[in-house]
Amino acid sequence: MKSVHPEVFLVSRPQIDYEALAAYLTEVGGESWLERLDRGHLDDAQNLAEFAGKICYRAWEPGLNPNIVRVRNDHRKYLENILSQAHGSVLEHVTFGFVLHNVSRVVTHELVRHRPGVAISQESLRFVRLADIPFWFPEWAQQDAELMKRATALLGQMEEFQLWMADHFGLDVEGMNFEQKKHKTSFMRRFAPDGVATGLLWSANIRTLRHTIEARTDPGAEEEIRLLFGMIAKIMQAEAPALFGDYTVQDGAWVPRWRKV
Ligand SMILES: Cc1cc2nc3c(=O)[nH]c(=O)nc-3n(C[C@H](O)[C@H](O)[C@H](O)COP(=O)(O)OP(=O)(O)OC[C@H]3O[C@@H](n4cnc5c(N)ncnc54)[C@H](O)[C@@H]3O)c2cc1C
């Protein structure tokens, strides 16, 4: 048994092509909006959200749309208005990619219930053979000596059975064909516990992130997924403070001011 801890790596974030944006804005007379933007390497997510909102009403500056006599120039206030109006579809353009590392199949099973706005590529235990059983124990469990003794003995037995099966099926014998390996590896994973740690790339847009952070840090949610989404929430608050600054955190529960955008 290998003792592990769930980790989150933010591996992708949106990037704007400002030249292309400028070319489009010149076409529609909206260049002044672009001049007002900050363009640091962490600004693209929020800028893209604002762009998506402003394109709806041609709200780059007053007068471009005769129905609009004034526009919000303050970036943060503009995005706050998007949240307060629940104009959430504009947030769907802004996607972040996270590697969720050493998370259990308990977590991944719950995570895949969130359907819109996500992309998932999960480690395949049909192909990836378990040589050991990576496992996370919460701190309260680690402090229970008898529990740990019995749990590690059980996991050790499961690990040994994995190795026995690999040998029994001759998976490492030269010439063993790949289809057979896959077939048997898939059978073998049935004897791994739900808590076995695995990994996936999980990409989600801001609308989905806001919803899942709230749902999965709720006190009623499962402890590992709460831990994970607490980490994701902190990352997102640093990445896009204007889109994640409305949360209050109470005992690990992230409660947004603007719900269900
Ligand atoms: C604390 C907690 C306990 C849970 N317990 C259980 C349990 O015991 N058993 C169980 O089976 N599940 C359980 N779940 C999972 C839960 O029922 C949802 O399936 C899961 O949280 C996905 O969230 P969602 O329904 O908001 O859908 P998401 O896929 O996250 O979708 C986001 C939003 O999009 C809209 N939407 C998405 N798909 C549709 C659709 N097909 N039709 C209409 N609107 C749609 C809805 O407004 C939805 O809220 C639990 C979840 C939590 C957080």
Q: For ligand 1, say whether the CB of 211 is within 6 Å of any of its atoms.
A: yes
Q: Categorize the per-residue pLDDT at 261 as very low, low, confident or very high, splitting at 50, 70 and 90.
A: low
Q: Which atom, in ligand 1's list, is nearest to the CA of 220? A: 1
Q: For ligand 1, say whether the CB of 215 is within 6 Å of any of its atoms.
A: yes
The pLDDT value given to residue 78: 93
Task: Tell me what the mean pLDDT of segment 159-172 comes to.
Answer: 96
Residue (of 126, 148, 107, 117) closest to 8 by Cα position: 107
Residue pair 258/243 in contact by the 8 Å Cβ criterion: no
Percentage helix, strand, coil for the chain under 3-state DSSP, each rounded to 5: 50, 15, 35
pLDDT tens digit sequence for 91-150: 999 999 999 999 999 999 999 999 999 999 999 998 899 989 999 999 999 999 999 999
Report the chain's mean pLDDT, rounded to a whole number: 95
Query: Is residue 204's pLDDT more than 80?
Result: yes
Nearest-CA residue for atom 19 of ligand 1: 113
The pLDDT value given to residue 177: 92
Residue 2, φ and ψ in degrees, nearest 5: -110, 125
Q: For ligand 1, say whether the CB of 16 is within 6 Å of any of its atoms.
A: no
Gap between the Cα atoms of 235 and 10, Å rounded? 8
The pLDDT value given to residue 260: 76
Query: Is residue 35's pLDDT more than 80?
Result: yes
**3-class DSSP state of 97:** strand
Q: For ligand 1, say whether the CB of 219 is within 6 Å of any of its atoms.
A: no
pLDDT tens digit sequence for 40-96: 888 999 999 999 999 998 889 888 888 887 888 889 999 999 999 999 999 999 999
What percent of the chain stands above pLDDT 70?
100
